[in-house]
């Protein structure tokens, strides 16, 4: 198990690895015992809430564009038009996650999850920050987690080079 050497990056990397480990063992469980969406929502605390609290200044300010969305693997999910950059999106997602203002939509009688909605009840009951199809939420998390780790590492390398 081991200690954290650098909690800012280790925790995120371990959370991403946890998702991968789970995916590699998913086949061992009956469909009714596969809790991949539950794990994903739990991991959002470590991937969105935790980093935002520790290092808000590192959050990306990149504008959300079709090219960026394609790079993230997000094509069928949507974001509120008020949200134009990744920093605003991550902060809004953080509030939604921290206040558990997450909703699940299903179009089937089996209640399979078709969409995961992140809302902001302070802006109204119908205010949706983001609406993800589950596979694209995973793509977004992997993109953002990888981006965050590489940014922190680069920043710390630059600091140590200056000192």
Parts of the chain with a pLDDT under 50: 159-163
Q: What is the pLDDT, as a whole number, of residue 58?
A: 72
Contacts of 65 (CB under 8 A, 6+ apart): none
In a domain, 82, yes or no: yes
The model carries a pTM of: 0.81
Residue (of 65, 56, 49) closest to 87 by Cα position: 56
In a domain, 32, yes or no: yes
Report how many domains make up the chain. Answer: 1
Q: How many CA atoms lie within 13 A of 110 on its CB side?
A: 5
Contact 68, 62 (CB under 8 A): yes
Residue 32 CB neighbours (<10 A) = 6
Q: Quote the pLDDT of residue 52.
A: 60
Question: Is there a domain that residue 3 lies in?
Answer: no
In a domain, 41, yes or no: yes
pLDDT for the residue numbered 159 = 44
Q: Does 1 map to a domain?
A: no
């Amino acid at each position: 198990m081991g200690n954290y050497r650098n909690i800012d990056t280790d925790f995120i990397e371990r959370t991403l690895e946890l998702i991968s480990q789970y995916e590699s063992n998913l086949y061992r469980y009956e469909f009714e015992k596969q809790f991949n969406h539950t794990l994903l929502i739990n991991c959002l605390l470590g991937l969105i809430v935790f980093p935002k609290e520790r290092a808000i200044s590192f959050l990306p300010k990149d504008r959300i564009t079709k090219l960026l969305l394609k790079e993230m693997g997000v094509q069928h999910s949507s974001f509120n038009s008020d949200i134009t950059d990744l920093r605003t999106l991550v902060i809004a997602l953080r509030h939604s996650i921290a206040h558990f203002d997450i909703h699940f939509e299903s179009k089937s009688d089996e209640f399979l999850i078709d969409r995961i909605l992140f809302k902001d009840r302070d802006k109204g009951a119908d205010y949706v920050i983001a609406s993800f199809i589950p596979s694209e939420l995973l793509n977004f998390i992997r993109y953002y987690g990888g981006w965050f780790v590489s940014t922190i590492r680069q920043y710390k390398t630059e600091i140590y080079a200056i000192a």
